[in-house]
């Protein structure tokens, strides 16, 4: 008999709802295309614009600025900081300090926490909307946009948070 963790089971049920847009969205400018009903709050739109401008910046462990590169939490802290919002530096502190949000209710600008290092969140990304996130994934890669329904990320999503 196949045993599935309850969390993974719930995620498998929720991801199709979250990622109902089945096509790949390509952003051609600094702001993602939203219908009027999905339009982010102006503060969230500013945050998304800052984050999207960092695409292509190299990953660097401990990095927290475009000139030297970003790790995942440094990228998030920098993006929020550019909009005047001070948030903690590490993934763990961002997880602990953010307001928990049910994954089914995430909005653009919310943080997504992933279990990549054992039982605690080891990676953080920013939800863009339309089933996509932006993040600094790992060594040898750059800040990029990924789909939430990517098999690697889908099985590791553990929480969402909002500042």
Residues forming the active site: 72, 123, 135
Structure tokens at 102: 């049910």
Contact present, 11 and 155 (Cβ < 8 Å)? yes
- Give the helix ranges, DSSP H, for 19-144: 42-52, 72-81, 91-97
3-state helix, strand, coil in the chain (%, to 5): 30, 25, 45
Q: Is 144 left (phi over 0), alpha (psi -120 to 50) or beta?
A: beta
Q: How many CA atoms lie within 13 A of 146 on its CB side?
A: 19
């Amino acid at each position: 008999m196949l045993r599935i963790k309850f969390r993974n089971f719930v995620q498998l049920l929720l991801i199709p709802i979250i990622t109902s847009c089945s096509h790949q969205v390509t952003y051609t400018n600094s702001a993602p295309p939203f219908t009027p009903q999905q339009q982010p709050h102006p503060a969230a739109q500013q945050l998304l614009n800052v984050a999207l401008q960092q695409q292509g910046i190299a990953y660097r462990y401990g990095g927290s600025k475009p000139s030297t590169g970003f790790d995942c939490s440094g990228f998030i802290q920098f993006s929020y900081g550019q909009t005047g919002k001070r948030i903690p530096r590490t993934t763990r502190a961002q997880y602990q300090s953010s307001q928990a949000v049910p994954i089914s209710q995430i909005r653009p600008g919310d943080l997504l926490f992933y279990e990549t290092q054992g039982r605690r969140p080891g990676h953080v990304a920013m939800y863009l909307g339309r089933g996509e996130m932006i993040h600094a994934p790992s060594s040898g890669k750059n800040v990029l946009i990924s789909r939430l329904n990517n098999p690697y990320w889908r099985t590791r999503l553990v929480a969402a948070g909002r500042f």
